[in-house]
Every structure is written in C-alpha cells, then in structure tokens.
Amino acid sequence: MRLSGPKISTRSTPAPGQSLQHGEITIAYQPILRGGSIAIMCYFLFDLVTRLAFPGESHHGVMVLAVSFAALTSISVRLYLCRTRSAGQLEVAGSILCLSLFANSNLQQVLYFQDENLLYSVLMMPIFAALLPSRRTIAVATLLCFASLVILVQSNIPARMSDYIWIGFSGIAAGVAISLILRNAVLNSVKARLDAIRDRETAEALAAETRHLAECDALTNLPNRRSFFTELESRLERLRRHGEPFVLGLVDLDGFKPVNDTYGHAAGDEMLKQVAERLRTVAGDTAMPARLGGDEFALIASAPCTRSETVLQLGHRIEAQLSRPYELGEYTCKGSGSVGLLICNDPDLSTHDVMERADHALYFAKRALQGKAVLFNAALEHEMMASSQVDKALRRCNYETEFTVKFQPQYDLIKSRVIGFEALARWDSPELGTVSPDVFIQAAERAGMIRPLTQVLLTKALTAMKDWPDDLTLSFNLSAHDLMSPQAMESVLQTVRDSGLPTKRIEFEITETAMMSDFNQARRAIDQISKAGHSVALDDFGVGYSSLQYLQQLPVSKLKIDRSFVSQMLEDSSSFKIVRTMLSLSQTLGLGCVIEGVETEAQMHILRTLGARHVQGYLIGEPMTADAVLPHLSSPLKIGRPRPDICPPGLRKARA
Ligand code: C2E
Ligand code: MG
Ligand code: MG
C-alpha cells in the first residue's frame, strides 16, 4: 500500500558506443550451438544406423563403438543446452561437439584411409567456425583440422601434398569468412538486444520517476493529495464490492503558522518532515499516511482496527507522536496535532461524504480539544447536518434583507454613561429562523462569503451611527478572513471613509484566532487599520493560549476580557483572579479594557472595586435595534449600591 521511490534497475548495460561484453556475445551463440548439436546428433545417428545396417567394413566394431559414443555425446550436449548456460560452459559444450566430429573423422581415416574422405577435414573448418563461440577455440579447432589434413596426406598420399595444402588454406579461409560473417550478425543482434534492453530500462526508470513525482510530496516524500484520493476511492470501491471497512484520519497541526513565522520556512519544512516521519511510524505497514498540503496530513488505515476503541487508540498514538518536541536546527519547538477520525463502513457514502465527515471530526477536535483525536459519531453527524443546512441557506440568502445589526452599549463606570456600542450581526433566515452569529459567521468563513457579509454589516452599522451623538463610538467585529486579505481590508476602510464619519469613532475588534492563522498578515492588517486612524481591540481576551505574545507585538489599544471569566467570577476564585490579573495587565501596558458579559449588579460592583472602567453586558443593555439606541441613551441606568454580602471567593477567605 505504501508508495515508495522509483525503482531504477541496477542491471548494467553498456552505454552507446561502449564495447559489447564478451559474455553477452557468447551467450547469443547458444541457439546456434543448439541447432548445430541437433544436426551433429542426427548425423551420428544416421551414420550409426547405416553402419549397423551395412556391416562389412574393416574395423567395423571399433567404428560402431566410436560413432555410438559420438552420438551419445552429441545427445548429452543437446540436452545440456536445453538450459541457459554461461559463456564458459558454451565454449566447453561447443568444443566437445567439434572434438567428437574431429575424432570420429580422423579415427575413420587412421583405420581406413580414403583420400576422398580428406574433404571432411576441410569441411570441418567452416563448420567449427560456425559452431564455436570464441575466437581462440575457432583458431585451435581450425589449426587442428589443418594439421590432421597435412598429417593424413603426408602419411598416405605425400605426392598430393601441395594440392591439399591449398585445399586446407581454402578451408581456413572459408572458416575465417564464416566466423566473421556470423560474428558480425551475432554482434549486431546482441547490440540491438542490449540497446532495446537499455532503452526499456531508461524508459521504465523515467516512468517510475515521473510516477514518483506525480504521486509523492516532494518535501516529505509521503504520498501526495492526488495519490491519497486515488487510494481513498479504491478503498471505497472495495467497501462497496467486498464490504471491507477502513479508517480515514485527517490530521492538522496546531500552531504551525507561528512556527513558520517565528523560526522561518526552513524550520517549518523541517517540522513537516518530522511530522511525516512520525506519521510513518504510527502507520507501520497497515496504514497509508499522506500529505494533503500545507500542514494537513491524512491517513488511511486497514480493516482490523475499525472498533471505536481501537480507532481512538490509533488517534491517541498520532497525538502522542505529534506532541513530542521537534528539533528544528538550533531550536526545539513544542507542537501538537488535531486528529479527526472516521470509520468508513457505509458503502453508500461518496468520497466527498467521507471527507466531509472526517473533516467535521477534525474541525471539532480543533475547536474543542486542540491536540486531541476525535472520532466522528452520531452527535457530530447531527451537528454537521445542521451546519450544512446553514451553509446552503447562506448561499441562497439575500444579505441586505435578511441580515441586520444590533447594538450593545458599552458603559463607562467613571463617567457613568454609555460611551459607545458594539455592532452585533443578526440573521433572520426565512428557512431556518434566527441563526446565532457564532454559527453563521463561521459558516460564512467556511463558504468564503464573509467579506461581502462584512461589507453589508459595516454599511448598515455606519448608517445607523449617523444618528448618534458625536461622542459615541462604534465597535465593529472583523473576521480572521477579513484580515487575511489586504484588498478586503482596504475596502473595509474605504467603506468607513465613504460614510464620512471620523475614523477615531470607529474601533475594530479582532480575535486571537485571527492572529493564529497567519500572524504576519494579521499584523500588517492591524497596522493598516491603525494607520487609517482607527483603534483596535483584542476581543475575547484570555481565551486563546498565547495572548501575551500577541499583545507585545501588536499595536492594539484595548482588551476585551471574555465573558466566560466574568460569569464565574463570584463562584470560582481562579476566574476572579484571572479578571483581576488581566485588569492590572491592561493598566500596566497602558491599554484600555472592556469587561464583557456583565449580567449582575454583584459582578459590576466587584469589577468596580477592582478598578474596571468600561463594561458591557446585559446589565447595561442587551443588543438592541438601531431604533432603540437613542431611547436607551435617554433612559438613565439604575444600578444599586454595593451590597456588603456580595464578595468574590478570593476575598471571602481573607475577610474570614
Ligand atoms: P463578541 O464580539 O464577543 O460579542 C459579544 C457576544 O456576547 C455577543 O453575542 C453578545 O450578544 C453576547 N453578550 C453580550 N453581553 C452579554 C451578557 O451579559 N451575557 C451573555 N450571556 N452574553 C452577552 P452574539 O451577538 O451572539 O455574538 C457572538 C459572537 O459572534 C461575537 O462575539 C462575535 O465574535 C461574533 N460576531 C457578532 N457579530 C459579528 C459581526 O458583525 N462580524 C463578525 N465578524 N463577528 C461577529
Ligand atoms: Mg466583539
Ligand atoms: Mg467578545
């Protein structure tokens, strides 16, 4: 299942122009030698049958024995050549065949000389030249034939020596010619074969390399997005055909962008490589890890672990691996990854469906349990269906008519009056009814529709603000997505300029999550806002995990302490201490501070004792329509005097 690097053949083939190996040529002789052995075998068998059928020749018994031995030898050589033999073995086999011919012919002549049989000695020269694979054996065999011819002529018909010398030379010439022609033909065919092999190997290596490039991520060497989806589709096909379930996991690194921004891209790349290595370790042989892009990874695991507990164990193993420290050159960095898991056992689901479910589990893991694994379940399915309905309704809706802005007052405890309003978006969908901004803002971000929505809401808020007294400010919430595009920011600022309202009366609220996605771009956007004359407030302060770092580096002028701390301030001593610390932090840094979510007089009084100045919450006023703003300003706020029995948990002990 794992994809690996291209396999480039290690077979050595000569490069063009390089001389052919001796072994390759000799091996090419095997078919010739095999054919020769059959011919020689037939010759000896025929000779044997003839001798047995027509006996009478002197030395008949000796010759029958010799021919039988030669026939057996040629049969053995033929059988021996059935399998592919090495160059040396072919040389020996060829020599044995030739020797049996040579010995037989000469034995016949020695026992019973016939001058017409001398031609055999001559004929054998080209035959040996054709059969033998190497030059040295051809030379030896030809010389032997010539020598035997000379000896036989000298011993039997010396008067005709000069004739036979010339006939012998002709035999040698024929042998040389045949050996050259054959050698050339073999040489060319071997060369062509080697060229073909080399071309095929080059083509295969190139194809493997191209495949590798197309299927693997260059940085981490993991299968890339494309091969991940190919594998996913084939797994779904197997699920449909054979009912084989599998596990799909999506992994997203937490806080990878800050690592990239702070330590540089080389460190970021190194971190991604280490993540890939750790995923490989977890995956072992039973799962396929892949990099989908950026800091997103995925995993497809085989069937044996489709029980919920086992799947979660897999997720926990990934969590554990990813939360080990990363050695990035001179830095050591902490990290973690959120994991969304899905057991794919429903054959009716498409690739898009399974990705959507795993992605939702990942989204939940990121939102609620950063650095943890979440397995998709029925509750998440319900949530996902609801949000997909929101997505669909959002795509069809009319921003102008369905969206409105409400205004929530912000109160100055020293001046005892409202100093401004926060604009809060509302959506009354004809299909879904009232949808909470927590839901539709995220949906608009997901669907890439937040920028036009921001424009509509800002225009509505600015239009309403024109009726307000000049000393009131407007706080407007920006999405992380607004900050990520300089063009979007420019059109936000242009909308304010077009309204003709003084820029210092309009403040923008941004959340820490906006910083986390791309810190550098967020900082540029905040600079852009500040240069235009607006102040910037850091919303929901205290909820994120690296607030102080951001505070140091960003030109924000105000903190908004999240309402979750205020709501528990009276019951929970640590919430109380957090509010107290954040208030004194804002004072130390010279920043303004708004406490959100003040609902009771008791909370208000304690905040007053802690030195809080600006508050916002239902006690002062709930978000109201634009029409209700002016009447609200003219009705004085009635807040009772501090009651001595109201005391935060931290102080109770001290008083006791
Ligand atoms: P936020 O900016 O922190 O807004 C304050 C939220 O707290 C508002 O919820 C408000 O109605 C609620 N709230 C105020 N006082 C109290 C209180 O005393 N008790 C309680 N329990 N809640 C109180 P809302 O209107 O539901 O908005 C939720 C979030 O949606 C906002 O949080 C903000 O992050 C986002 N949002 C709202 N309007 C917009 C907008 O126009 N654009 C963008 N990008 N985000 C918006
Ligand atoms: Mg806000
Ligand atoms: Mg807030």
Ligand 1 binding pocket includes 542 (Cβ within 6 Å): no
More confident of the two residues 26 and 100: 100
Q: Which atom of ligand 1 is nearest to the CA of 616?
A: 15
Q: Is the pLDDT of residue 102 over 50?
A: yes
Q: State the average pLDDT for the chain.
A: 87
Take atom 45 of ligand 1 and give the residue whose Cα is closest: 477
pLDDT digits (tens, 9 = 90+) for 218-274: 999 999 999 999 999 999 999 999 999 999 999 999 888 878 878 888 999 999 999
Once rounded to an integer, what is the mean pLDDT over residues 392-411? 95
User: In angstroms, what CA-CA distances link 372 with 73, 251, 335, 411, 496?
Assistant: 79, 10, 12, 40, 42
Closest CA to 541 of 564, 571, 567, 521: 564
Show Cβ contacts of residue 105 under 8 Å, excluding neighbours closer than 6 positions: 117, 120, 121, 124
When mean pLDDT is compared across 71-75, 128-132, 593-597, the lowest value belongs to: 128-132
Output the pLDDT for position 446: 84
Q: Which atom of ligand 1 is nearest to the CA of 560?
A: 3
Q: Which ligand is nearest to the CA of 560?
A: 3
Three-state DSSP string of 313-337? HHHHHHHHHHCCCEEECCEEECCEE
How confident is residue 370, by pLDDT bands cut at 50, 70 and 90? low
Ligand 1 binding pocket includes 617 (Cβ within 6 Å): yes
Show Cβ contacts of residue 257 under 8 Å, excluding neighbours closer than 6 positions: 295, 516, 517, 518, 519
Q: Is the pLDDT of residue 627 over 70?
A: yes
Q: What is the DSSP string of 247-288?
A: EEEEEEEETHHHHHHHH-HHHHHHHHHHHHHHHHHHHTTTEE
Percentage of the chain exceeding pLDDT 90:
55
The torsion angles phi and psi of 573, rounded to 5 degrees, stand at: -65, -30
Ligand 1 binding pocket includes 584 (Cβ within 6 Å): no
Whole-prediction pTM value?
0.62
Once rounded to an integer, what is the mean pLDDT over residues 188-213? 85
Q: How far apart are the C-alpha atoms of 159 and 90, rounded to whole Å?
A: 40
Q: How far apart are the C-alpha atoms of 183 and 90, rounded to whole Å?
A: 15
Burial (CB count <10 Å: 0-12, 13-18, 19+), residue 74: buried
pLDDT digits (tens, 9 = 90+) for 313-326: 999 999 999 999 99
Show Cβ contacts of residue 577 under 8 Å, excluding neighbours closer than 6 positions: 650
Q: Is the pLDDT of residue 69 over 50?
A: yes
Q: Which amino acid is at 282?
A: V
Percentage of the chain exceeding pLDDT 70:
90
Residue 355: alpha-carbon gap to chain centroid: 16
- Residue spans of beta strands (DSSP E) within 108-264: 246-254
When mean pLDDT is compared across 94-98, 479-483, 517-521, 547-551, the lowest value belongs to: 547-551
Q: Is the pLDDT of residue 28 over 80?
A: no
CATH of 225-376, one of 3.30.70.560, 3.30.70.270, 2.60.40.2550, 3.30.360.10: 3.30.70.270
Q: Which amino acid is at 349?
A: L
- Pocket-testing residue among 424, 457, 637, ligand 1, by greatest number of atoms within 8 A of Cβ: 424
**CA 372 / ligand 1 centre spacing (Å):** 27
Output the pLDDT for position 281: 95
Question: Which range has the top average pLDDT, 72-81, 131-140, 563-572?
Answer: 72-81
How confident is residue 504, by pLDDT bands cut at 50, 70 and 90? very high
Output the pLDDT for position 640: 53
Q: What class is the 392-655 domain?
A: alpha beta
- Domain boundary assignment for the chain: 19-194, 225-376, 392-655
Cβ neighbours of 233 (radius 10 Å): 12
**CA 517 / ligand 3 centre spacing (Å):** 19
Contact 47, 66 (CB under 8 A): no
Q: How far apart are the C-alpha atoms of 27 and 64, rounded to whole Å?
A: 34
Ligand 1 binding pocket includes 32 (Cβ within 6 Å): no
Contact 267, 311 (CB under 8 A): no
Contact 47, 72 (CB under 8 A): no
Q: How far apart are the C-alpha atoms of 110 and 220, rounded to whole Å?
A: 80
pLDDT digits (tens, 9 = 90+) for 629-644: 999 998 877 665 544 4
